[in-house]
Amino acid sequence: MDVIDIPAHVPPHLVTDINIFALPGAETDYIAAWLALQERGPDGLIWTTANGGHWIGTRGDVVRSLWADTTRLSNEVLAVVPGLGEAMQLIPLQQDGATHKTFRDAVMKGFAGRHIAALEPQVQALARELAQGLVARGSCEFMSEYAEILPVDIFLSLIDVPVGDRLHLRPLAAQLVRPDGSMGVIELRDAVDDYLRPRIVPRITNPGSDLFSRILAEPVHGRPWTEDEALRMARNILFAGLDTVAALVGMTAMHLALHPQDQQLLRDNPDLIPAAADEFTRRYPSASVSRNAVEDVQVGDLTIRKGDIVYLPSVLHNLDAGSFDDPMAFRLDRKLNPTHHTTMGVGAHRCVGAGLARMELIVFLREWLAIIPPFTIAPGGRIAMKGGNVGTCTHLPIAWA
């Protein structure tokens, strides 16, 4: 255990030393690793001495209600990872209250449904091109050869830059998705900013028809965006939309490789793909978020004190039997309301890219199943995963006839 003082308001029986970045067993199944915390925290919270000491929400109702509480819990500091929040200053993720609303409203306009629908042909072309490049091979390592590439290419089409830029952005994106330790957080942020600055900042005064131009055309506090704000917003969208989409596409492919009957169902009934995409999104949550208490919060008999950090894993909401019936089952008859699960968050910070991510997943399923024959885990192949702020498959060897 780290040697830290356990605050007096934390009951000793809730104290553990679990490191959320090294959950036992996460490298083979990050979902099972999170779920193992359920029995440690039947009251809805546990407290860990790791990473400076913080709460972890362990029960679905507690995770969801704390996540939605933007009055007493702040987003300003990306807590748990020291220094990350100060380095990133993401807009709108790290904002609270009225300032958050102003910037988020502008970002939301860029992500309006009609704009997402207009992007679909481009996403479809990218998804098709990637799958066609693989089909003759009969096998691939799905994460590095498909799932991690698709969202980078989509990001490039969002900012309307030449496809040739892939070569420049992909290695940086790989560092974002799978840091190999060769770049620190600040170095990575600076490298990403060096790429984004000349492509984003000119759009404040000289807009095009791309997503970023549309966002930057919306005044904030009645004035144009500053260069710094534009960069922080672009950084947020880049950082938020790569690892998460790769995770969802990867976990979906893993499910299909392991469940040939579900794969066949969707091959036979492509009209079920949108409902399946919604259920995959509930069943395979990836993100966990952290909050700083700016007021005391009572949870049953427990008190989260002002200044405490709370960590909220969506796995422990979506896959709690108190939140969804038979939560581990992949079922198409749930009549899901996508705002009830927390894969995309809940409340004021709910993902602005949720519509885009849903469209990407649907297009992936349609194109992949149309091009790639029935596939399974490659013989002898081992699936690897990672936990942390975005849990995901990191290695998914698949094969087809």
By the criterion CB under 6 A, which residues form the site for ligand HEM?
A: 75, 92-93, 104, 236-237, 240-241, 244-245, 248, 286-287, 289, 343-345, 349, 351-353, 356-357
Which of 49/288 has CB closer to ligand HEM?
A: 288
- The rounded distance, in Å, linking the Cα atoms of 258 and 336 is 23
Which of 49/292 has CB closer to ligand HEM?
A: 292
Closest CA to 369 of 230, 285, 266: 266
Smallest distance, Å, CB 232 to ligand HEM?
11
Smallest distance, Å, CB 83 to ligand HEM?
18
- The rounded distance, in Å, linking the Cα atoms of 347 and 341 is 11
Which of 101/305 has CB closer to ligand HEM?
A: 101
Smallest distance, Å, CB 5 to ligand HEM?
28
Which of 44/345 has CB closer to ligand HEM?
A: 345
- The rounded distance, in Å, linking the Cα atoms of 340 and 70 is 17
- The rounded distance, in Å, linking the Cα atoms of 342 and 281 is 9
User: Nearest-CB residue to ligand HEM?
Assistant: 353
Closest CA to 312 of 99, 113, 55: 55
CB within 8 A of 401, min separation 6: which ones?
138, 373, 374
Smallest distance, Å, CB 391 to ligand HEM?
10
Smallest distance, Å, CB 127 to ligand HEM?
14
Smallest distance, Å, CB 182 to ligand HEM?
26
Which of 10/362 has CB closer to ligand HEM?
A: 362
Which of 10/211 has CB closer to ligand HEM?
A: 211
CB within 8 A of 178, min separation 6: which ones?
148, 394
